[in-house]
Structure 1
Amino acid sequence: MNKLWQDVRYGLRQLRKSPGFTLTAVITLALGIGANAAIFTLVQGILLRSLPFSDPNQLYRIGDKDDCCVEGGFVGDNGDFDIYSYDLYLQFKQSAPEFEQLAAMRAGFGGFSVRRGNEIAKELTGEYVSGNYFSTLGIGSYLGRVFSDSDDTPSAAPVVVLSYEGWQNEFASDTSIVGSTISVETHPFTVIGIAPRGFFGDRITGNPPMFWIPLNTEPTISGNGSILHHPDSNFLYAVGRVKPGTPIPALQAKLSATMREWMKTRPVYTENGASAEIPKQHVTVVPAGGGIQNLQQEAGDGLTMLMILSSVVLLIACANIANLLLARATARKAEVSLRMALGSGRSRLVRQIFTESVLLSLIGGLVGLAVAYAGSRVILILAFPGAKHLPVSATPSWQVLGFAFGISLLTGALFGTTPAWISTHAQPAEVLRGSSRSTSDRSSLPQKALVVFQAALSLVLLVGAALMTKSLNKLEHQNFGLHTENRYVAHFDPHGAGYSLDRLPALYHEIQNRFESLPGVTGVGLAMYSPLEGDNWGECIIQQGHPAPRPGEHCGSTWDRVSAGYLDVIGVPKVRGREFTDQDTATSLPVAIVNETFVKRFFPNQDPIGRHFGIDDVKYSGSWEIIGVFKDFKINNPKEEPRPVYLRPMTQYYKPYTESGFISTEDQSMYANSIMLRFNRPQQDADALIRRTLASIDPNLTINDLRSLDAQVADNFDQDRLLARLTTLFGVLALILASVGLYGVTSYLVVRRTSEIGIRMALGSTRGRVVQLVLRSVAWQIGLGLALGIPSTLLAGHYMKSQLYGVSEYDATAMIAGVVVLCCCALIAGFIPARRAASIEPMQALRTE
């Protein structure tokens, strides 16, 4: 131990004697290890960890896809069901005793207007869950109690459980909230408990629920819009705790059979030849300890790609460290040989050099942890922009810390052994005769090979960064089919403010008039949902005079309710016919306007004006008359081609449709949730102006979200922006590290060949020839790097294909850009020591020894 302590002190002295070398090595290691630890923190938090459930290995979900939010009839691809009606959930619960408990939760979260006493109402995210939700997950309470089955019955008093973060941030950690009453969508609910800290619900999302309410309170809140007891409305996920020893394949087969038998009792699954599809329907039972895989599925490919890219950065950093240590070992040959000539033992010298390398790596690892802490927070902010309550910890876990520490030790051990061996195998006689007289230096071959390796990997990252940046640019600057400049979207909730259907027309009229009178406002429109906000309602279209679509036919269409003049507000041009006017009232002919894709899908080679269509049932196929056609625009997913869309006026309530049992759809669609405003110039105070105006109409009408349409569209690309930024960051890091490595190796070779260069210049070689001599070596290394890097880049592009939009994975522009940037940086990195070599005075060089 005494000798070890001496070696440690000696190593620290040596590192302190070479501050430039030490600082470069520490920063290089810190960047490589820190980037990996930061990405690994995100990967672990989203993809690898179990949520804080009791015995998470016992939890299984019926379904494996992220279907959301309300579907009718057959759902999923190839008969794979992942989302269920309340009636089907009860069938599963009754027929599968293999589950100790089986809980249900709504597939999509909702925004609810919540008020305590006389406070201003606030919009909070909530989730409908079954009464056994918390007991199934094995979650207790922080304060009060959680739900029981008795809380989830039609006759039970309405109750709510707050999340810890919701209680802390929205109710100021007031313990008296437990037992008190709050209003949810104007209905009184008793707060019975607070969930534990760190419990964000059954999935990882950037906007977790702030509270939970029982499923059977859904009719109370939704009124005529309730879908709880509609057996053909699929809107629930199911997660259960399986009894030990239960074979999952057998349970999966049993549940699939139960679902098929239940389908035979429902007309929607048997009419119009649909019964032939029933044998194909099935469920998949998958582990649920990590939660319902929403964010995991969305971000999984991107996170995996980032982990690979950060690993490449680490490899480049390690190659740099290896180069630095090899150069240092070669430069210290004379010192080591002299010490050996004076009697030092080879083993002691190896141990000292090895200890120095490990110390260097550990210091780099410690600094890398600081980089990881800061990097994790930055990445999480980028991954969840605007999220108030992050469900993923930004603090690296013990596993991540262990990973970083292990990488540090491995780097020190791996790259300390070779330099120690090289240094101690020099012959002492070399010290007496000098070692710089040779015109060749085979010891530099490993260093040159490492530079080639770095150049190849750097090219992969640079081209990857160019592909992701170009893809993001294509996404953000595509033709959305609408105008976004000087437009603002205000989301509000008239239902949560207590407005009934009969009061809505007067409210909408008042909103229209008040906002149109504001200075600078040139257009006002109301809509059930606004473009590219991420919401979507869809129905199966039936043309008048056509039979009902058979299973598998593409009959779906997105739809929206809008006010007169709405298309003009968002800048979508009319193709033919007319738009809605004030004459389209509750007593006039039910009408609709459709986009060009709708016409191509349902009325090909026909004049659509005057045609009729309906939804869901043949007897309603004449529900609406088409009065106009508008240009296609991106209404939901900007990465998809425009889908069929039809719009209905906000002023028309179609009473015959409510007889079909879908009164919920008709009632809910009458509630606008967005106000679109068009200004004639950029606004500095739009936020305050819009909030003040709406409050003057009714103080209970609170704005849930207010932003420009540009910002709303940009929110669709948060994940793509994160990937592009981090890929670019890794590309720049790789380029810097590779350039530093090339500069270091070239500088080292110039120093080693000082006497040779002096002889050449003494014999008449010009400074230009010396620069060429040095740059020729650089060109060979970069050339070999490109030869290895280009095929690797093509392979990497193939695996990045799923993350690209509008860009080929073999994009020539990105490849050329990567090659040019790498060559330019290599030229600069090589030219500096080449210029220094050309400035050597021959006589001074000959005296070097």
Structure 2
Amino acid sequence: MRLFRFLRRKSDLTEELESHLKMAIAERVARGQSPEEARRSALHEFGNVPMIADVTRNQWGWLRLEQWLQDVRYALRQLRKEPGFTLTVVITLALGIGANTAIFTLVQGILLRSLPVNEPSRLYRIGDKNDCCYYNNYQNDNGDFDIFSYDLYLHLKQAAPEFEQLAAVEAGGNGFSVRKGAEPARPMRSEYVSGNYFATLGVGAYVGRVLSENDDTPGAAPTLVLSYKTWQADFAGDPGIVGSTLYVQTHPFVVAGIAPPGFFGDRIISNPPDFWMPLASEPVLEGANSALKGTDELWLYPLGRVHPAANIQALQAKLSVALQQWLATRPTYADHGGAALIPRQHVVLAPAGGGIQRLQQQTGTGLRLMMILSTVVLLIACANIANLLLARCTARRADVAVRIALGASRFRVIREILTESVLLSLMGGAAGLAVAYAGSYAMLMLAFPAAKNMPVQALPSTAVLAFTFVVSVLTGIVFGTVPAWLASYAQPVDALRGVNRSTADRSSLPQRILIVFQVALSMVLLAGALLMTKSLHNLEHQNFGITTANRYVVSTDPKGVGYTVDRLPALYQQIEDRFAALPGMANVSLVRYIPLGGNMWGSCVIPQGHAAPGPKDPCFAAWDRASTRFLDSIGVPIVRGRNFSTQDTATSQQVVLVNQAFARHFFPNQDPIGKHFGVGSIQYSGAFEIAGVFADFKMTDPRGEVRPLFFRPLSQQFHGYKESDVDAAEKSSMYLNFIILDFAQAPADVETLTRRTLADIDPSLPVMHFSPYDAEVAGNFNQDRLLARLTSGFGALALILASVGLYGVMSYFVVRRTSEIGIRMALGAARSGVVAMMLRGALWQILVGLAIGIPAALIAGHFMASLLYGVKPYDPLAFFGAIVLLTICAVVAGFIPSRRAASIDPMKALRAD
């Protein structure tokens, strides 16, 4: 009786509502609850004590903190009462938010990250493109200069006092053999930098000191600075390494210091330098082949820190004028018609605070695409959550109606439901962080499988955590608002007559709209996934022109352990003989650069009898040096002439093998056999004779067309070069770094056998790298593979979410229309008719979703065009496959609840409410 005395004190309660509460308590007592338990349960079910107390509070009571805490506690109780619903929502949100957080982790680490240096906003690079690594003439048709010689760097440094410091860094990088004392040599990456490099960046040493201007002078003792990660990984963090001597390619270098933790250099790349050396040490390691001494050798990126008041546009124009003045003094650029191109040459000052844009340019398009696709997945997940919340709020309409009748305001009802929605989103976001960490790590491993000291971390940063929190809160607010708003319209009379008999259902239309929305977005993701998958298949299964099965690639470094050019022939012969004797070996060959390995030389080809080419004449051809059985070891046939043979000796005519593209380009409509050409200068145009033509294969770019290419035998060194730097480059080309092992049947322990064989030849020869040739080729497609797998994963996730969403909505409609279906069947409706009626509603939603999704997918395909290979953005098979797959899954998801509806017993249905 105390409950009803309390209720009668509320002037706005009706006798009908009193009766309803009495009935609720009586039902609970009949089920075995005590009167006190029944009273408390009824109050919680039909308004809760805090809700009833709202009637007596003033209109600003909702602002009080304790009410918000009450809402949170009540929301947690409600979620605990329905663990299945809570778990479903949290998992769905974890997948959606986790995918976005994982992608944002990479976006923040690669595209948005600033270098860990002093005032990165004042760092600028002269040049905005990635040209790598050595040039000696005009670079681009539009006159954009991006890579510079040492002399040109000094000229610009003198011409631009607007820079506080202007440093120079090597455009590429180097792989060197490094040895400490008597320890075996190990492969490491290095970067040449000017002496003011660390001062320009504002970076000090963690241990010891960094490089200085004094280290970068001729005759200075060779020094280097180790990266922190290399110091930890390769030297166990030994502080005694500072001041000790490391042997780089047999040359002694003193370790000046250790770079600070987190510093990985001036650019974000998958394999940052293990150490940095001053530019002055480049001639020590390269000898007469030094790029530093080459006046016109372009190989450096200038990187500077501008004064705070500097005008960037004015400085850019000033540097362009200085560039043109320098070019006018150089015969390489001014002769043979090149002077007319000088006025077009210019530079662009690019912000460098985020690192020299290399990995950013390579991955930027793909990362932005992934960010868009992961957002689409999140939207589909949120649509599912909104549908679940709509269904849940409709099921709780009686509860809400009683609360409103007890005096709760609509605002309080909306706020409580929104609190529940935000709590769910925060729980999903917390679970999403685990998904994000695992996803980020997996994506980094897929994109950069060979990375040693990858500067991008999978662990979410503070910015990523903030991003996840914001996404979670916004998700809860945006997709909880509509269900909360609709639930707040519940009428007290609904609580008295049973909501399931109400004819009005405000949530029906929003739920159908959300399903249409999910279908449309799923169509976009599925079409994108099929396009990327087909593109990857075309890339990986194209005809490269070479055979890689049962082939293995071994990289070594004879120069790094002190071999001189005159000792190389005996070493190469011993390698060929010893490896050829291994069981199952078909062919052994040596080559400077392997096909599809990522590196290559190039020169300007001048056929005998032709004039010197002008700056616009296409004279470039790639070239390589290889042993006699090289083409056999990669399965490339000779189509005309002959292969290299033992007759091609150091004293015989210099011969070359050219590919079909070379013959077509330089000797069109002619028989190239016996023709002569040279490289670099017209005075050498008769140096080489074409002995044979081999079938075209892709040497460097698996996406591009086959370009002119020629090979020279390792047995012939050209001694006719008059320039010392060209002659030094010729000697350097005699060092072959790769061994290709072609097995008829590879033994199980092939790597162990290879290392042992090489050690038997010379224990000091390091194995820099060993891998199956298939893996080397596959490495060209790491990012394509990542994009294809991610889009496929997103597409599959979208399909599952859309199917689950449709299934849930159809199941909900079956429950809502139980009475109607029972009446129809009682009046003689057939089961097939009920199934067809339910499926028609589902199919209309699917068709409307496809009508919206197909044009959206076409637009998305247009933006993906640059990432596709051998497939059109509007590929009919991809779109047809997406439509069929989505339709089948949607029909199955709709058929199951439709069949359940047809199995309803009419008598039970009529008694359901």
For the aligned pair, the TM-score class normalised by the smaller chain equals: over 0.9
Give the superposition deviation at 1:435: 3.3
Give the superposition deviation at 1:438: 5.8
Give the superposition deviation at 1:180: 0.6
Instruction: Judge conservation of contact 2:177–2:249 (CA < 8 Å) in 1.
Output: yes
- What are the equivalent positions in structure 2 for 1:271-286 lying under 5 Å apart? 271-286=335-350
Residue 668, structure 1, aligned to residue 732, structure 2:
yes
Give the superposition deviation at 1:800: 0.1
Q: What's the secondary structure of 1:564's corresponding residue?
A: coil
Which of 443, 449, 469 lines up with 1:385 in the alignment? 449
Which of 357, 371, 388 lines up with 2:421 in the alignment? 357
Residue 815, structure 1, aligned to residue 887, structure 2:
no
Alpha-carbon distance between aligned partners in 1 of 2:697 and 2:331, rounded to the nearest angstrom: 35
Tell me the equivalent position of 2:353.
289
Alpha-carbon distance between aligned partners in 2 of 1:173 and 1:528, rounded to the nearest angstrom: 35
Which of 116, 126, 132 lines up with 2:196 in the alignment? 132
CA shift digits 1:738-767 (9 cap, x unpaired): 111111111111100001111111111121
Alpha-carbon distance between aligned partners in 1 of 2:376 and 2:476, rounded to the nearest angstrom: 18
Give the partner amino acid of 2:256.
I
Alpha-carbon distance between aligned partners in 1 of 2:361 and 2:403, rounded to the nearest angstrom: 60
Give the partner amino acid of 2:574.
E
Instruction: Judge conservation of contact 2:579–2:757 (CA < 8 Å) in 1.
Output: yes
Give the superposition deviation at 1:282: 1.2
Residue 833, structure 1, aligned to residue 897, structure 2:
yes
Alpha-carbon distance between aligned partners in 1 of 2:369 and 2:660, rounded to the nearest angstrom: 38
Give the superposition deviation at 1:77: 3.6
Alpha-carbon distance between aligned partners in 2 of 1:561 and 1:20, rounded to the nearest angstrom: 67
The change in CA–CA distance for 1:188 and 1:327 in structure 2 (over 3 A counts) is same
CA shift digits 1:81-113 (9 cap, x unpaired): 111111111111122111111111111111010
Give the partner amino acid of 1:11.
A
Give the superposition deviation at 1:368: 1.4
Residue 257, structure 1, aligned to residue 302, structure 2:
no
Alpha-carbon distance between aligned partners in 2 of 1:393 and 1:83, rounded to the nearest angstrom: 30
Residue 629, structure 1, aligned to residue 693, structure 2:
yes
CA shift digits 1:681-700 (9 cap, x unpaired): 13321111111111111111
Alpha-carbon distance between aligned partners in 2 of 1:342 and 1:207, rounded to the nearest angstrom: 67
Structure 1, 397-406 or 169-178: larger mean CA deviation: 397-406
Alpha-carbon distance between aligned partners in 1 of 2:721 and 2:347, rounded to the nearest angstrom: 32
Q: What's the secondary structure of 1:534's corresponding residue?
A: coil
CA shift digits 1:663-716 (9 cap, x unpaired): 232122110010011000133211111111111111111011111110100000
Tell me the equivalent position of 1:308.
372
Residue 576, structure 1, aligned to residue 640, structure 2:
yes
Alpha-carbon distance between aligned partners in 2 of 1:347 and 1:269, rounded to the nearest angstrom: 76
Alpha-carbon distance between aligned partners in 1 of 2:581 and 2:307, rounded to the nearest angstrom: 65
Give the partner amino acid of 1:395.
L
Give the superposition deviation at 1:547: 0.6
Residue 244, structure 1, aligned to residue 287, structure 2:
no
Residue 539, structure 1, aligned to residue 606, structure 2:
no
Tell me the equivalent position of 2:584.
520
Give the partner amino acid of 2:151.
D
Length-normalised TM-score, structure 1:
0.99
Which of 457, 460, 467 lines up with 1:396 in the alignment? 460
Give the superposition deviation at 1:562: 0.5
Tell me the equivalent position of 1:425.
489
Alpha-carbon distance between aligned partners in 2 of 1:231 and 1:798, rounded to the nearest angstrom: 45
Tell me the equivalent position of 1:10.
74
- What are the equivalent positions in structure 2 for 1:703-718 lying under 5 Å apart? 703-718=767-782
Residue 99, structure 1, aligned to residue 99, structure 2:
no
Q: What's the secondary structure of 1:407's corresponding residue?
A: helix
Instruction: Judge conservation of contact 2:486–2:506 (CA < 8 Å) in 1.
Output: no
Give the superposition deviation at 1:279: 1.4
Alpha-carbon distance between aligned partners in 2 of 1:118 and 1:810, rounded to the nearest angstrom: 61
Instruction: Judge conservation of contact 1:200–1:209 (CA < 8 Å) in 2.
Output: yes
Alpha-carbon distance between aligned partners in 1 of 2:179 and 2:625, rounded to the nearest angstrom: 28
Give the superposition deviation at 1:847: 0.3
Instruction: Judge conservation of contact 1:112–1:496 (CA < 8 Å) in 2.
Output: yes
Alpha-carbon distance between aligned partners in 1 of 2:425 and 2:321, rounded to the nearest angstrom: 59
Tell me the equivalent position of 2:858.
794
Residue 320, structure 1, aligned to residue 398, structure 2:
no
Instruction: Judge conservation of contact 2:128–2:349 (CA < 8 Å) in 1.
Output: yes
Which of 268, 271, 276 lines up with 1:207 in the alignment? 271
- What are the equivalent positions in structure 2 for 1:56-71 lying under 5 Å apart? 56-71=120-135
Give the partner amino acid of 1:600.
R
Structure 1, 591-600 or 426-435: larger mean CA deviation: 426-435
Instruction: Judge conservation of contact 1:515–1:521 (CA < 8 Å) in 2.
Output: yes
Instruction: Judge conservation of contact 1:113–1:124 (CA < 8 Å) in 2.
Output: yes
Tell me the equivalent position of 1:844.
908
Tell me the equivalent position of 1:727.
791
CA shift digits 1:283-338 (9 cap, x unpaired): 11111101110100000100010011011111111111111111111111122112
Alpha-carbon distance between aligned partners in 1 of 2:415 and 2:614, rounded to the nearest angstrom: 78
Alpha-carbon distance between aligned partners in 2 of 1:521 and 1:531, rounded to the nearest angstrom: 20
Alpha-carbon distance between aligned partners in 2 of 1:346 and 1:280, rounded to the nearest angstrom: 69
Give the superposition deviation at 1:785: 0.5
For structure 1, the 5+ residue unaligned runs are none
Which of 713, 722, 726 lines up with 1:649 in the alignment? 713
Give the superposition deviation at 1:660: 6.5
Alpha-carbon distance between aligned partners in 2 of 1:344 and 1:87, rounded to the nearest angstrom: 80
Alpha-carbon distance between aligned partners in 1 of 2:486 and 2:505, rounded to the nearest angstrom: 14
Residue 156, structure 1, aligned to residue 220, structure 2:
yes
Residue 491, structure 1, aligned to residue 555, structure 2:
yes
Instruction: Judge conservation of contact 1:76–1:82 (CA < 8 Å) in 2.
Output: no
Length-normalised TM-score, structure 2:
0.92
Residue 266, structure 1, aligned to residue 322, structure 2:
no
Alpha-carbon distance between aligned partners in 2 of 1:777 and 1:500, rounded to the nearest angstrom: 81
Q: What's the secondary structure of 2:277's corresponding residue?
A: strand
Instruction: Judge conservation of contact 1:181–1:189 (CA < 8 Å) in 2.
Output: yes
Give the superposition deviation at 1:345: 4.1
Q: What's the secondary structure of 1:272's corresponding residue?
A: coil
Give the superposition deviation at 1:440: 7.0
Q: Which has the larger radius of gyration?
A: 2
Q: What's the secondary structure of 1:482's corresponding residue?
A: coil
CA shift digits 1:156-183 (9 cap, x unpaired): 0011100000100011111100011110
Q: What's the secondary structure of 2:256's corresponding residue?
A: strand
Alpha-carbon distance between aligned partners in 1 of 2:261 and 2:725, rounded to the nearest angstrom: 42
CA shift digits 1:46-75 (9 cap, x unpaired): 001111111111111000111011111111
Give the superposition deviation at 1:732: 1.1
Tell me the equivalent position of 2:814.
750
Tell me the equivalent position of 2:3.
none
For structure 2, the 5+ residue unaligned runs are 1-64
Tell me the equivalent position of 1:600.
664
Give the superposition deviation at 1:604: 0.3
Q: What's the secondary structure of 1:647's corresponding residue?
A: strand
Give the partner amino acid of 1:118.
A
CA shift digits 1:463-499 (9 cap, x unpaired): 1000101100000000000111011110111110101
Q: What's the secondary structure of 1:432's corresponding residue?
A: helix
Q: What's the secondary structure of 1:718's corresponding residue?
A: helix
Tell me the equivalent position of 1:467.
531
Alpha-carbon distance between aligned partners in 1 of 2:207 and 2:726, rounded to the nearest angstrom: 40
* Cα root mean square deviation, aligned: 1.3
Give the partner amino acid of 1:4.
W
Structure 1, 320-329 or 352-361: larger mean CA deviation: 352-361
- Report percent identity of matched pairs: 62
Alpha-carbon distance between aligned partners in 2 of 1:281 and 1:423, rounded to the nearest angstrom: 67
Which of 463, 470, 478 lines up with 1:406 in the alignment? 470
Instruction: Judge conservation of contact 2:486–2:507 (CA < 8 Å) in 1.
Output: no
Alpha-carbon distance between aligned partners in 2 of 1:6 and 1:834, rounded to the nearest angstrom: 41
- What are the equivalent positions in structure 2 for 1:683-694 lying under 5 Å apart? 683-694=747-758
Instruction: Judge conservation of contact 1:61–1:238 (CA < 8 Å) in 2.
Output: yes
Residue 805, structure 1, aligned to residue 864, structure 2:
no
Instruction: Judge conservation of contact 1:562–1:648 (CA < 8 Å) in 2.
Output: yes
Alpha-carbon distance between aligned partners in 2 of 1:423 and 1:771, rounded to the nearest angstrom: 30
